A and B are shown apart, each in its own frame.
Chain A
Amino acid sequence: MRGFEFLEKLTDIEDELVEKAQRMPRKTSYVKCLSLVACVLLVAFGTKALLHSEEEMPLPMLYISEDGSGGMGFEGYLAYDISELTNANPWHENLEITNLPVFQNALTYNDRQQVENADLKKMKAILVKEAKSLGMDVKRLPITDDGPSEEDIKSYAKQFGVAVDDIPKEFFYVQRLFMEDDRYRLEVDAALTTTLEVKQHIKMPNDLLEAGEILKGSYSKYLGMKSPQTNISDGDYDIYGHQNFSLSFFEGDTDAVQNILNYHFTRVYFYFNADDQMWLSRKYRTDLSNVIGNYPIISSQEALLLLEKGYYVTTVPEDFPGIAFVRKVELVYKTGRMTEIYMPYYKFYLELPTLEMDNGLKTYGAYYVPAVQSQYIENMPVWEGSFN
């Protein structure tokens, strides 16, 4: 049997496997029994207010589900040394942070992975603002979308012999808006992420720091930041031995908590092709208006003790090697688009001795310990392949 036949014959595997594979991972750490009243009141306070006010309202219990551990597959990083895994995370051990906010994802998805509560007005406003910042002629250029045209709807109704009113509503959902000229193709999706395609690719220096400085200058309006901080991240190797880095920016803030939030939730990435040409940018802006509460957090040392006791979530398939193999820790928010609750974790990088390769490449596995004090977590995860 050759590769192609193998590929073809896979068609008839079990139906259950076929369907399971195309389902999006649901990253669902969620709040259990969250009182609607509490939620509404918390939202009314707004993010900034909560970060700086003494919280008197009882905080809802948080619930971490198994899927909340990642849905990220085996999260391991290949590197010769931990120092190669880099990023500009503004968190560090000496920051005296006692509380951090936890947010509920403002977007809801249907089973077709469409955002059900897309805010078209907001999407349009963002598209126009971004287009203006790039010097596009917003008065002349039309805004298009991925919804069906009048013609599509008529032909659809005709094809199936039904009235337009009888066409299922999902058919009409708009998930993306576009604007395009001869230099750029701009898109804003229902999650409010902007994708900018640069039609004439721009040659950049191979050095990402240098490239970052150039982009900071030439795209300052598009970045829209008062104090853009350069984030050169990743640094891990692929199985073929190539080291990979990413370049992004986030808004620097003198407030440590705001700085951490900006780093995790409002980044602008620039992407390069193999010839060091910049061809794409993505701007992420997560809606953080649904604040659940400002939760007291533990220190990284306390988290280390929890890690040792097995209170962690991981996707690493190997046996836990022990805390002697901890090589790095950082505080992170999990920010996947399907994640229902954005909450902070301590992310421990552990060297996995069983996976060291012959060429000296080591694998560092990620282990997450909730940073929120365990009294607020209904089911503190105990790793034994399952959850409480």
Chain B
Amino acid sequence: MKDEEIVNLYIHRNERALMETQVKYSKKLLSISENILKNRPEAEECENDTYLCAWNNIPPIAPKQYFFAYLAKIIRNLSFNVYKKNHRQKRSALVIELSSELEQCLPAPNDLECQLSEKEFLKVINGFLHALRDIDCQIFLLRYWYCESLAGISNKLDMSEGTIKSSLFRTRNKLKGFLEKEGYHV
């Protein structure tokens, strides 16, 4: 079923919307949450909460054009909330690895937030991502947005892990240079 049709089911309060959403996007949504939490039951809980959140918010929201992105953002947020709640007991090695990789992009160990409001930060990052070649942008986002392992990206894109690492390395350096050039460092 097309996204627009599914969103229409939500708008008309038809519970079939939930099933169609689950059939179409369950695997992708679960994988985002599992990548972050490394815990299947918690990921499943986040998935169910995502459907509930969509049910409660559509309407008035009607994300017909980017329905998957809408759901994916919900589950990513929910998963990071659970992660933060839990992470004192059990840290996900992957999230630590990703955080440390991204830290390398920051021009200085200072608080970039002091320089950029959240809105500005997003504007800068969106601009940077649009300027990248499609494939480099895809690799960067699969790694840092979808929190995928190198092996997972390699499998998905039919590329060697070496190529993925090189692309990420270059993109992180570009991002650091981009932020510095734009004057975002203390």
Contact surface of A with B, Cβ cutoff 8 Å: 1-22, 24-25, 27, 71-76, 78, 112, 156, 159-162, 166-168, 170-171, 234, 236-239, 244, 315, 317, 336-338
Specify which chain B residues have a CB less than 8 angstroms from the CB of A73 in the assembled complex.
135-136, 139, 157, 159, 163-164, 167
Q: Is the CB of B18 within 8 A of A3?
A: no
Q: Is the CB of B24 within 8 A of A12?
A: no
* B84 → chain A closest CB, angstroms: 8
For the complex of A and B, list the 10 residue pairs with the smallest distance between their C-beta atoms, beginning with the closest: A3-B103, A15-B66, A3-B99, A21-B141, A160-B19, A15-B69, A1-B112, A18-B69, A4-B99, A336-B158
Q: Is the CB of B133 within 8 A of A317?
A: yes
Q: Is the interface of B mostly helix, strand, loop or mixed?
A: helix
Instruction: Name 23 interchain pairs, CB-CB below 8 A, sorted by A.
Output: A3-B101, A3-B103, A5-B113, A6-B102, A13-B125, A13-B126, A13-B145, A15-B66, A15-B69, A17-B137, A20-B134, A21-B138, A24-B156, A27-B158, A72-B159, A73-B157, A74-B133, A156-B19, A159-B19, A162-B16, A168-B19, A244-B162, A315-B135
Q: A15-B63, A15-B65, A74-B166 are in contact. List 14 more A-B contacts (CB 8 A).
A: A3-B106, A7-B98, A7-B102, A12-B122, A13-B129, A13-B145, A18-B72, A25-B138, A25-B158, A72-B159, A73-B135, A76-B163, A167-B23, A238-B166
Cα(A11)–Cα(B113), bound, Å: 16
| Pick from A71, A171, A237: contact of B135, CB under 8 Å | A71
| Pick from B23, B159, B164, B169: contact of A170, CB under 8 Å | B23
Q: Is the CB of B23 within 8 A of A171?
A: yes
| Pick from A6, A17, A112, A315: contact of B103, CB under 8 Å | A6
Q: Is the CB of A4 within 8 A of B159?
A: no
Cα(A4)–Cα(B141), bound, Å: 15
| Pick from A2, A22, A234: contact of B142, CB under 8 Å | A22
Specify which chain B residues have a CB less than 8 angstroms from the CB of A338 in the assembled complex.
158
Specify which chain B residues have a CB less than 8 angstroms from the CB of A168 in the assembled complex.
1, 19-20, 23-24
| Pick from A9, A21, A112: contact of B118, CB under 8 Å | A9
* B25 → chain A closest CB, angstroms: 9
Q: Is the CB of A20 within 8 A of B138?
A: yes
| Pick from A4, A25, A170, A317: contact of B157, CB under 8 Å | A25
Contact with A along B74-99 (1 / 0, CB 8 A): 00110010000000000000010011
Cα(A112)–Cα(B68), bound, Å: 12
Known contacts A71-B157, A72-B157, A234-B160, A18 near B145 by CB under 8 Å: yes
Residue of A4, A75, A237, A336 contacting most chain B CB atoms (<10 Å): A4
Cα(A72)–Cα(B125), bound, Å: 24
Specify which chain A residues have a CB less than 8 angstroms from the CB of B125 in the assembled complex.
10, 13
* B13 → chain A closest CB, angstroms: 13
B12 within 8 A of A: no
Cα(A170)–Cα(B25), bound, Å: 11
Specify which chain B residues have a CB less than 8 angstroms from the CB of A16 in the assembled complex.
66, 69
Q: Is the CB of B99 within 8 A of A238?
A: no
Specify which chain A residues have a CB less than 8 angstroms from the CB of B126 in the assembled complex.
13-14, 17
Specify which chain A residues have a CB less than 8 angstroms from the CB of B118 in the assembled complex.
9, 12
Specify which chain A residues have a CB less than 8 angstroms from the CB of B142 in the assembled complex.
21-22
* B11 → chain A closest CB, angstroms: 18
* B177 → chain A closest CB, angstroms: 15
* B63 → chain A closest CB, angstroms: 8
B58 within 8 A of A: no
Specify which chain B residues have a CB less than 8 angstroms from the CB of A156 in the assembled complex.
19
* B23 → chain A closest CB, angstroms: 5
Specify which chain B residues have a CB less than 8 angstroms from the CB of A7 in the assembled complex.
95, 98-99, 102, 144, 147
Specify which chain B residues have a CB less than 8 angstroms from the CB of A317 in the assembled complex.
133
B15 within 8 A of A: yes
Specify which chain B residues have a CB less than 8 angstroms from the CB of A112 in the assembled complex.
24, 27
| Pick from B121, B158, B164, B165: contact of A9, CB under 8 Å | B121
Specify which chain A residues have a CB less than 8 angstroms from the CB of B163 in the assembled complex.
72-76
B73 within 8 A of A: yes
Specify which chain B residues have a CB less than 8 angstroms from the CB of A14 in the assembled complex.
126, 129
Specify which chain B residues have a CB less than 8 angstroms from the CB of A13 in the assembled complex.
122, 125-126, 129, 141, 145
